[in-house]
Amino acid sequence: MKNFKSHFRFNKQERSGVFYLLFIIVLLQVAYFVLRSSGATEVDNSFIENNDLQTQMDSLKAKEQVRDSIKLYPFNPNYITDYKGYTLGMSIEEIDRLHSFRKDGKFANSADDFQEVTQVSDSLLQVISPYFKFPEWTQKKSKSTSSYKTSSKEQDRGSRKAESKFTVSDLNSATIEELREINGIGEKLSARIVKFRDRLGGFLVNEQLYDVYGLEPEVVERTLKRFQVLKKPVIEKININTASAKNLSKLVYLQKDVSEGIVNYRSDNGTILSFDELSKIENFPFEKIDRIKLYLTL
């Protein structure tokens, strides 16, 4: 017993050391619990949900997801495929509405028309509509021409009388001077028509006149009263399954990147069996497929 008590005998300095050690331990324990409780309180008090800010962040996140999902190029929304619609963020129902609308041979000629047909949300339309590319003639027809009609009514009557005196001539043999006789066609436009005709190797259908840059639809209509395709040129069609990108790009309607896209698509998917497959190629001008098919063969 005496030996056991000897273990608990301390001098004054040892007792002081033990006391300070216990004091420090207790102080550290108190400080730990105080800091932990105050930290939790601060976190709880600082987290206040801001619904407006969260909605704005969700909207921005959705837009970024659409932008990051696919690199967008200008395209005609009338020819959106199932895959294209999915990557744009459209629902199955919205894509089906567009396809049902197109089955009747109808076209949406503006972003508002597209939204009316598909019923896409305003937020999605705002993201994808800047990339919509409609045929130029649809936009030109939508422009108001009332001022032109009122200011040149007598002149238009005179030109119609003058045009009625002429017999219809071959558009492929019309000269620059003859084209300039049409009201609305000047020196630049007449030269541009001939240049475009030469690049094509000759017009195959009357509708190709609408593809001449800067030529208003009403001017085209007046021109076709005097000139039409009477003798079609003999052309050598390009085989879309064997031609190189360089040969494909020789066609006026196909840009270099589109021609390369055709070759890449062919390499990945094999033989192109239908011209409808061309709608899957990025930036392909499918609104002009009826003209393009005249120069291609499968």
> Domain spanning 156-228: which CATH class is it, in words?
mainly alpha
Residues 6+ apart with CB under 8 A from 274: 298
The pLDDT score that the predictor gives to residue 20 is 82
Q: What is the DSSP string of the chain?
A: -HHHHHTT---HHHHHHHHHHHHHHHHHHHHHHHHHHHHHHHHHHH----HHHHHHHHHHHHHHHHHHHS----B-GGG--HHHHHHHT--HHHHHHHHHHHHTT----SHHHHHHHH---HHHHHHHGGGB---HHHHHHHS--HHHHHHTHHHHHHHHHHHHTSPPEEGGG--HHHHTTSTT--HHHHHHHHHHHHHHTS-SSGGGGGGSTT--HHHHHHHHTTEE--SPPP---EETTT--HHHHTTSTT--HHHHHHHHHHHHHH-S---GGGGGGSTT--GGGHHHHGGGEE-
Domain boundaries for CATH 1.10.150.320 within the chain: 156-228
Per-residue pLDDT of the chain (298 residues; tens, 9 = 90+): 555 555 566 677 777 877 888 889 988 888 888 888 766 555 454 555 667 777 777 666 665 554 554 566 788 888 888 878 887 888 888 988 998 888 877 888 888 889 999 998 888 888 888 888 877 655 555 544 444 444 444 455 544 444 445 588 888 888 888 888 888 888 888 888 888 888 888 888 888 888 888 888 888 888 888 888 888 888 788 888 888 888 888 888 888 888 888 888 888 888 888 888 888 888 888 777 878 888 888 8
- Which pLDDT does position 55 carry in this prediction? 73
**What's the pLDDT score for residue 278?**
83
pLDDT confidence of residue 63: 58
Domain with CATH 1.10.150.280 in the chain: 238-297
pTM: 0.43
Neighbours of 90 (CB within 10 A): 22
* CATH match for 238-297 among 1.10.1030.10, 1.10.150.280, 3.40.640.10, 3.40.228.10: 1.10.150.280
Res 145: pLDDT: 42
